[in-house]
Amino acid sequence: MIEVSGLTKRYVGHTAVDDVSFSVKKGEIVGFLGPNGAGKSTTIKMLTCYLTPTAGTATIDGLDVERDSIQVRRRIGYMPENVPLYLDMRVSEYLRFRGALKGLGGRKLTAAVDEAMEICSLVDVQRKIIGTLSKGYRQRVGLADALVHKPELLILDEPTNGLDPQQIRLFRDLIKDLGKRHTIFLSTHILPEVEMTCNRVLIINRGKLRASDTPKNLVRRRRQGGEVVVDIKADASAASQAIQALKGVTDVETEGVDGDWARLAISSKGKADLTERIHDLAVDQSWKIRELVQRDATLEDAFVDLVRKDGVSK
């Protein structure tokens, strides 16, 4: 669906997107991750024909974004960052205008607008002026606009930015559902969202593509070791020393002391499961345990690791 190769956008004094290549297959939901200013939006603007690449090519459905710009734009439903809308229009009126711009007319237009409003639960507010709607509703109007012409590809730039947790959850479900009918390319910096919705993740930092993998693989790749947290009734420093002596332990950190209880975070390397050894040690030393868990690495850790390696861009 999307084929990007060597895509570059250079501005005077800095390179926003630097030789990025990736591809997105039909039917995938791909998350595009990166810190602010990493080049996410610039990449998306090149895919949607708003900006022209300095070098490299991008094709949507085999059509070049520069040469077949109009054809490409017909195939894309795009929701820009911060969801700009004409605030003086009514919801249904706005969607009719957008649908008409995208080539729909007559009965087809009416049906498409009705369907888009149905999908995005906008039917109740269709007569309202967009300027009076809350952020959550505006976001849905933006999404309805993106999918009104039933494009094969939806490109969403930070679709849940600025929503409250409840709205984010609704939106996430909506996106998951849309993924059954459309290929989706969405940028975000909300990591749990990606873990829950996307089949694949692209991580970009300082204009360069850092990783492209499933969320699970990214996490697995990161976890060469692991971290175990134990909450025991013992003297913190003595316990630390004892645990430090265990095989495979690289570091012990005191996370907190609560009365007689000490909470320690133990990192290890290798695949060794430390929980068993720590348990045995605790039994030996007759420490009382109230918590002993293996803490899983998250996508967040993987992301932070990747980004930290080359420093955070400005």
Residues of this chain that bind other proteins (CB under 8 A): 10-12, 45, 48-52, 54, 70-71, 73-74, 76, 78, 80, 82, 84-89, 97-98, 100-103, 105, 145
Nearer to other proteins (CB atom), residue 72 or residue 204: 72
CA distances to 66, 71, 184 from 48, rounded to whole Å, are 10, 11, 13
Which residue matches tokens 């070098």?
55
Chain center to CA of 241: 40
Report the alpha-carbon distance of residue 133 to residue 122 in Å, rounded: 11
Task: Read off the amino acid at residue 278.
Answer: I
Structure tokens at 156: 């969403």
Q: Give the nearest distance from C-beta 107 to other proteins in angstroms.
A: 16
DSSP 237: H
Rg (Cα) of the chain, in Å, rounded? 25
Nearer to other proteins (CB atom), residue 79 or residue 218: 79
Q: Give the nearest distance from C-beta 100 to other proteins in angstroms.
A: 5
Q: Give the nearest distance from C-beta 11 to other proteins in angstroms.
A: 5
Nearer to other proteins (CB atom), residue 7 or residue 228: 7
Nearer to other proteins (CB atom), residue 159 or residue 226: 159
The phi, psi pair for 235, rounded to 5°, reads -75, 130
Chain center to CA of 61: 23
For the chain, the residue count is 314
Nearer to other proteins (CB atom), residue 46 or residue 194: 46
Q: Give the nearest distance from C-beta 72 to other proteins in angstroms.
A: 8
Q: Give the nearest distance from C-beta 120 to other proteins in angstroms.
A: 16
